[in-house]
């Protein structure tokens, strides 16, 4: 990237949709659901996809440095911190792994502890200045809706200190049951509706 590109990027007032992608599979069910969701954004916003399995963000160390000042003892999250601050919308697209997030995505989520600490240990009213709307896209092998609901609860709590309103969730369930075609169509439409609702708020 040359200097002009960086400058253009930094001064860009184009809306930013930041996606945290939790699946190790770039062409799996989560990717298919994300594609359906993102379709209305292309041409209307800048879309950045963070592939958590490639990003390899280290787990939170629980060192409590962020409880003493607004920073983190590890530097590998700094780029994501800047993107989070700039984003207008945040999307988390992921499969359910053992009733939770896949480990690399969970590491990213835990690293947002710095915003929680800023809010509750340092008394910062808005650890993230810019308001955002967010969406959760979940795929799960089982047909149990509570598997996805557990992810929703976790994210809602994390976003509560990030000036981020979790607008809704689209679940593609039962992906292990068949080839996925029969269950995908409903999820595709729901993802599109959620995307349009978020686009309207940006």
Ligand X SMILES: Cc1cc2nc3c(=O)[nH]c(=O)nc-3n(C[C@H](O)[C@H](O)[C@H](O)COP(=O)(O)O)c2cc1C
* Footprint on this chain of ligand X (rule: CB under 6 A): 23, 25, 28-30, 95-99, 139-142, 147, 175-176
What is the nearest approach in angstroms of ligand X to the Cβ of residue 171? 10
Q: How many Å separate Cα 181 from the centre of its chain? A: 25
Q: Are 114 and 80 in contact (CB under 8 A)?
A: no
Q: Are 37 and 192 in contact (CB under 8 A)?
A: yes
What is the nearest approach in angstroms of ligand X to the Cβ of residue 95? 3
Cβ distance to ligand X smaller for residue 77 or 97 = 97
∠ CA 36-137-107 to the nearest 5 degrees?
A: 130
Cα–Cα distance measured from residue 84 to residue 16, given in angstroms and rounded to the nearest whole number: 9
What is the nearest approach in angstroms of ligand X to the Cβ of residue 94? 8
Task: State which residue has the least CB distance to ligand X.
Answer: 28
Cβ distance to ligand X smaller for residue 24 or 168 = 24
Cβ distance to ligand X smaller for residue 35 or 176 = 176
Cβ distance to ligand X smaller for residue 21 or 77 = 21
What is the nearest approach in angstroms of ligand X to the Cβ of residue 70? 34
Cβ distance to ligand X smaller for residue 23 or 170 = 23
Q: Are 123 and 156 in contact (CB under 8 A)?
A: no
Least Cα distance to 168 among 149, 190, 194, 193 occurs for: 194
Instruction: Write out the two tokens for 200.
Output: 């309207």
What is the nearest approach in angstroms of ligand X to the Cβ of residue 16? 24
Instruction: Write out the two tokens for 121.
Output: 């240990």
Neighbouring-strand partners of residue 19 = 49, 91
């Amino acid at each position: 990237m040359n200097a002009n590109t960086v400058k253009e990027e930094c001064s860009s007032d184009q809306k930013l949709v930041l996606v945290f992608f939790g699946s190790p599979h770039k062409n799996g069910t989560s990717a298919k659901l994300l594609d359906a969701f993102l379709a209305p954004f292309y041409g209307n916003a800048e879309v950045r996809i963070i592939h958590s399995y490639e990003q390899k963000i280290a787990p939170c160390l629980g060192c409590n440095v962020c409880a003493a000042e607004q920073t983190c003892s590890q530097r590998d999250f700094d780029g994501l911190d800047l993107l989070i601050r700039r984003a207008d919308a945040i999307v988390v697209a992921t499969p359910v792994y053992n009733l939770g997030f896949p480990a690399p995505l969970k590491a990213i989520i835990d690293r947002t502890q710095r915003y929680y600490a800023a809010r509750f240990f340092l008394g910062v009213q808005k650890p993230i200045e810019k308001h955002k709307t967010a969406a959760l896209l979940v795929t799960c092998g089982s047909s149990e809706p509570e598997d996805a609901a557990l992810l929703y609860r976790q994210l809602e709590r994390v976003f509560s200190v990030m000036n981020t309103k979790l607008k809704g969730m689209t679940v593609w369930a039962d992906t292990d049951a068949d080839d996925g075609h029969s269950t995908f169509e409903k999820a595709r439409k729901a993802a599109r509706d959620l995307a349009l609702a978020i686009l309207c708020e940006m």
